[in-house]
Structure 1
Amino acid sequence: MSDLSKRFFPARLPVLVVLALLPCLLSNSCASSRSARPAYAGKNLSSEAEVDYQFLIYQDLARQGKKDEAIKALSDLAASHPSPEVVVELANVQWGQNDREAATQTLEKGLAAFPGARQLTFYLANAYQMRRMEDMAVKTLERFLEKNPADAPALQELASLLEDSGKHEQALAVLGRIPEKDRDATVLYLRAKAEAGHGRKDAAMGTLRAAVAKDPALMPAWADLAGLLEQAGDLKGAEDCYRKMLSLGEESPEVRARLARILIKQKNPAQAVSLLAEGAPDKSRFLDAMSALVEAGYPRQAKQVLGLLTALDPDSPDLPFYKAVLAYEGDKNPREALAILGRVPPENPNYDKSLAFRIQIASEIGDFGKAAGLVREARQRYPDRKEFISVEAALLDKRGDTAAAAKVLENALAASPDDVDLLYRYGVALEKLKRRDEAKAVMEKIVAKEPTNPDALNYLGYSLAEEGRDLEKALSMVKTALEKEPDNPFFLDSLAWTLHKLGRANEALAAIERAIAHKVKDAIIWEHYGDIAAAAGRRAEAQKAYRTALELGPDSPAAVKKKLGAL
């Protein structure tokens, strides 16, 4: 909300106010506005001068840090000389003190007193929106538009609100009501957002190009255009957009980070590193680029970015971890990563993380003795840290002692019976031990505590699908899990398998294809793909899926071979 004194009061004080304040300016007798006010409030000031004077008192109190007195002065002003501007300023102060309900009530009362005030309408609608009261925000703007149907700013505000609420088609309809002469670059940008949200991405790109043609400095439009071009596979076009933003003076770290990723995708890692070195040092940007370079297979350039990061903060306690990640992920040298982490001293604030990482690496390379020793150290140093209980259980399970893992989790749950993470791990352990009724009871307990817990819902839904019963309930559970994690390949597999059991072959095939697109190395998912493809008459795909499942080591190789042979 804006500075009221600049926008709604004259730059020069009225003569009477200056005269009234003159004694304070010439002596120390006016130590505070509180003492000044009684002495001069009784003067025969004009209404405008009185407003200005009281507002100056409010400002003085605010400068002195007397927040309660300042709000009282502003509230008195709003009561004695109400105006949309004073109401907005009072609401602004209340909002700044995190009293959002009071701010909203102030705006509601103000709009009731001044029903045609556009500024109050916009502020109240925004207050509703920020409090997640979207319906009230929409109604507020619609009431204003009933009397001002061609008000372009109000239409634009309503369209923006609808777009933010995901109502893309309604937003487009409102934008269409804006007169042609008022359709500036911002209106075009809003239209493009609504088009993209409605799935019309080609149209959105065309509209965004029109928006930046009208206003080349509209940075959000350039950024959204770059994002859509990247999604469409036009990496060069996306690069050009980000470079245009830089040439126009946009120097936010996010722009350079996105451009660096685009360059890496185009196999230009050296350019990406140069770009990062040219801009202002930024830790998050460097870390993002390191991750992208490692993922793309450029460990040498990732180390160069680590050099930039080291120069930025040579004493950072995080540096050993970045080096270890590069050794582990970039150089594929887990033992070197272990050695780096082993040099992290216990006084390092991230020593707990170093232990967790070392346990993970030691377990993955099969050094279970070392991993067990590190687990013991972690449990001794951090006896109340539940994540190390989970780590110990996971290590025991990996060593083949699932019963011992379940016992560790059972003991932990005796002290923390409502810990959802421990409950889920315990349920999985019970499932592996073929204690399925107990596992199901644990997962149902989780859902009773957290009705939208995605992992437990997926487990229960998949279990029902496997048993071939309550398939509609199973489908509902899996879909709810996917609302939380829409790209989880295991949840997608559960969806596909449930649809397969329901006889919805085409939907099942689409879902399993989304699951394997994540390049998962899971024999069960690939076996499911084979079953679903075979049912859909896709013989070649089914053969490939079964062969992949066999390579990954299914629980029953003979059964998979039999399916493959039957094709």
Structure 2
Amino acid sequence: MRRTLLTLLPAALLLALPATVDAQQGGTPQTKTPPQTQPQAQRGRQISATLDGRYLAARVAEQDHDYDAAADQMDAALALAPTDPELIYSAFRMRMYAGRVDAAAQLAPQVLATRPGDGFANLVLAIQAIKKGEYKAAEQQLSRIGAENQLGVLRDFVMAWLKAGEKDFPAARALLAKFKPAAGERSEAPALVIAAQIDELAGDRAAAESKYRRAASLDRNGLRTTLSVADGLRRLGKADEARELLKTYGEKYSDSVLMDGLIAANAPMPKPPSPAAGIAEILFDIGGILAADPRNQRADLALIFDQLAVNLKPDHDFSWLMISNLYEQFQQIPKAIAALAKVGPTSPLSWQARLRMAALDAQLDRFDQAVSRLKALISEKPDRIDAALTLADLQRGRERYADAVAAYDTAIARLRKVDERHWQVFFGRGIVLERTKQWPKAELDMKKALELSPDQPHVLNYLGYSWVDQGLHLDEGMKMLMQATALRPDDGAITDSVGWAFYRTGQFDKAVEWLERASEQKGDDATITEHLGDAYWHVGRKREARFEWERSLNQKPDKDRVPVIKDKLTNGLNPSNDKPTVYEKPPAAKQGG
């Protein structure tokens, strides 16, 4: 079967919040009506029912990651029992998840009345103080975090920034020196950036410049390091050097960033370093560590840290991009789009954000709007291929194959230098050319993709399958499929291709063996199931064949396969329905390898 296609801080340094109130309390919290407002029994039952309903609605919304709705419902519940400590804490949590940081801060003192060491309640009040420039107050707030929620290195880096805000630069530098990474460590460059920014604040321009240059030399591939160094150099009067640094990076990573807004002669001077901006970077680092959790169990906490970052620094575009990614992961697509819209127009992430907005429009069935957005981007930057590729992929996903061919044509025509990474472009166009029955052209693109990436299992699988299915180049096609399955032995689609190759060459016993294995690996795939039914029929297992065909119909096969499978169920396998699944080979096609 063919198939289409930061680490300054350790992960342990987290401000842990319980996943649910139930985890601590074992069930719905018992609310207490204030003595001065004791209602009569009947009204009490009505309020209780309303309170329970609001609370449960909030919990359901939380499970769906709809944190705005959860916060609204929990706030409504809290209004009915405004002194209940568990409801106060639950409302605080939901406001944090929803990104309502300032509203959460209003509840933080009440949370701390019963949980004086709570990490997030203290942190959110510290952030409020930082925004006001009250660095000593922020420092005192952080010192109240309990031992069970120690901030560890996070607290020390934050404290360094707070000391810098208080203009106690010796103390700030002492804190940084305490955790200075060894030369060559991955975290050396970001640590140097922080030290350089604090040197700037202290007025030590020479020391700042030296550290910026060192950071740039250590982390030439890091976008955040590059941007921070360029900003620092510009503030230090090295605008030409900063512009060249950005230009070089933009050319090297032209598929992902666009530096035009920062390189422009009229680009605004970057803001000076500040404790708020520096601490926002640290919060983003923590969010990134949480989001990268391989078990995918800390995405909610990652969202909180990123929202704290943008609360401190509203133009922190990396955080907005991460927030969007998390909302997309939560299937909250409108919120993902809204977060992308926060990315500034001169940001190097702006182009990436606009591309992603178009793709998300398509997910919301605003396909025409997505196409319009992408066509505008294609016209706006005629030297770029990414918008055309995004359009091609969207069109292919909607089975608008002719339109996808045109978009791929645009992208390939814009390639200035073809290298290995472009195998996917030719492979993608080969797929849609084959789907539009242009096999000779499709074959050329498949071969080009394989030339660029000779051991790419998906290309080996697709081209080998297509050849064998049509009865073309049988020996070479089978060799490709065996190579693909050696590279991906557990890939059901590739295993199916080998089985189907044996089927097309009349080796039905071997076909059954391989197709049964493919069904075990990918049993919910309609094509594999149909293939297995065909093989069963040929070895005389006709009852099992019909069972597999019935199962295939229930697995949402491609539209063009539905009448074929129904015909097999009615009439059995016969020459009219036992044909190649790509398309029949032309009469004059050459057989053999």
Same fold (TM over 0.5): no
TM range, normalised to the smaller chain? 0.3 to 0.5
**Structure 1 or 2: larger helix share?**
1
Structure with the bigger RCO (C-alpha within 8 Å, sep 6+) is 2
The higher radius of gyration belongs to: 1
Taking structure 1 as the reference length, the TM-score comes to 0.44
TM-score, normalized by length of structure 2?
Answer: 0.43
